Amino acid sequence: MRGSAFKDRVEAGRLLGEELVAYARGKKNVIVLGLPRGGLPVAREVAEKIGAPLDVMVVRKLGVPGWEELAMGAIASGGVRVLNHDVMRSLHISEKALEKEVGLEMKELKRRELAYRGHAGAPEVKGRTVLLVDDGIATGSTMRAAVEALRLQGAAAIVVAVPVAAADTCREIESTVDRLVTLMRPEVFGAVGHWYEQFPQVEDEEVREILEQAARPTQAAYAG
């Protein structure tokens, strides 16, 4: 018996997709958006399982200077900014330090958008049901930024779907979305990678390949 909950992101995505089939059945105008980079392999399996189009939602964590793994917030496309004011107050993060980090991460956000989509624009989400997928949620800063961005863009309904998420974070996120779907909600969480037997780094090239493969049937349909 293996110690991890999931073999890899592909297995986790297939299991998550099975949980979402009943919800998506009969709904029109559904789109699956994966959070890069680790969320895309999971989102691909979900999109294939429910027969929905797939795209990417670019979000960047704002790390605390000197403790970059600790999030003080996140940014998303469209100028959305979500801040963890408790962390900022407790660590005495100045406005200058915050703006410096925002500037750095905004450059990376724009670089990733160009790398993943080229000059094509983000998908239209106004009036659509959006399934927002990642490989897991620890603090939830990036996910909250993505949710807020989708609200501002006029999404009709937002469903956050992840294989595993910290129980306390789930309680915070549930009040901000139409539905939260998880396979596991451990009270003691640790890192997302602890719940996977195989958890390799996902590179930009893999994200591009996933998106290109997902777009091919649509392109063929328009060509025909």
**Per residue in 35-64, pLDDT tens?**
999 999 999 999 999 999 999 999 888 989
**Per residue in 181-216, pLDDT tens?**
999 999 999 899 999 999 999 999 999 999 999 887
* pLDDT above 60: residue 218: no
Complete domains list, the chain, with CATH: 9-58+125-223 (3.40.50.2020)
Predicted pLDDT of residue 77: 78
Q: How far, in Å, CA of 56 to CA of 6, rounded?
A: 23
Phi, psi of 174 (to 5 degrees): -55, -30
Residue 69's pLDDT band, with cuts at 50, 70 and 90, is confident
The mean predicted confidence, pLDDT, of the chain is: 90
Which sign does the torsion angle of CA 81, 84, 85, 89 carry?
negative
Q: What is the mean predicted confidence (pLDDT) over 91-112?
A: 93
* pLDDT above 50: residue 90: yes
**In the chain, what percentage of residues exceed pLDDT 70?**
95
Predicted pLDDT of residue 121: 73
Phi-psi region of 118 (alpha: psi -120 to 50; beta: other; left: phi over 0): left
Q: Which residues pair with 81 in a beta bridge?
A: 75
How, if at all, do strands 59-64 and 54-56 pair? unpaired
Q: How far, in Å, CA of 147 to CA of 151, rounded?
A: 6
Residue 80's pLDDT band, with cuts at 50, 70 and 90, is confident
* pLDDT above 80: residue 148: yes
How, if at all, do strands 59-64 and 30-34 pair? unpaired
